[in-house]
């Protein structure tokens, strides 16, 4: 099971089966509004996940939140360079398994085999991924609600 399958399972348990309907309803309304704002139905992204001590269950990461932010900003700047080798950056830095490629479907779109529904992902991951143009790189900063596992440097592949 990869990182995002674990996240999807955690979200389904937290929002679907534990009665947190308010939060999931808010997220669904917010996500549908974003989908109606001219975003694509599907995206394929690759990401670099930079975590810190305690941010990723089951992983022993010793860096502080401050060091994670600094590293994420450095990698983000490298990734935005015209000649950047994003694949190499993923292999070198990501706390997720390479290649770190995920397909997502927007709100109201049935996911194809292997794709994840946007609503099942960490909110910041979809919020950044669906706003990017093909080839563009974006950053989802750590946020306890929207990006609780650390920093995501995201490149849209298609």
Alpha-carbon distance 133 to 153, whole Å?
14
Domain count, the chain: 1
What does pTM read for this prediction? 0.78
- pLDDT tens digits, the chain, 158 residues: what are they? 455 554 544 443 343 333 333 444 455 555 555 555 789 999 999 999 999 999 999 899 999 999 999 999 999 999 999 999 999 999 999 999 999 999 999 998 999 899 999 988 999 989 999 999 999 999 999 999 999 999 999 999 99
Three-state SS sequence of the chain: CCHHHHHHHHHHHHHHHCCCHHHHHHHHHHHHHHHCCCCCCEEEEEEEEECCCCCCCCCCCCCCHHHHHHHHHHHHHHHHCCCCCHHHHHHHHCCCCCCCEEEEECCCCCCCCCCEEHHHCCHHHHHHHCCCCCCCEEEECCECCCECCCEEEEEECC
CATH number of the domain to which 62 belongs: 3.10.50.40
| Boundaries of domain holding 83 | 3-156
């Amino acid at each position: 099971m990869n990182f995002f399958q674990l996240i999807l399972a955690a979200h389904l348990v937290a929002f679907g089966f534990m009665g947190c309907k308010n939060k999931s309803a808010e997220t669904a309304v917010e996500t549908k509004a974003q989908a109606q704002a001219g975003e694509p139905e599907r995206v394929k992204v690759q990401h670099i996940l930079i975590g810190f001590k305690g941010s990723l269950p089951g992983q022993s990461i010793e860096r502080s939140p401050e060091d994670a932010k600094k590293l994420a900003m450095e990698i983000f700047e490298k990734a935005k360079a015209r000649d950047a080798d994003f694949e190499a950056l993923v292999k070198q830095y990501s706390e997720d398994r390479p290649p770190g490629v995920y397909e997502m479907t927007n709100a109201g779109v049935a996911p194809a085999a292997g794709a994840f529904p946007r609503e099942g992902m960490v909110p910041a991951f979809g919020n950044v991924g669906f706003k990017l143009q093909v080839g563009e790189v974006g950053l989802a900063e750590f946020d306890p609600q929207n990006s609780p596992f650390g920093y995501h440097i995201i490149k849209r592949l298609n």
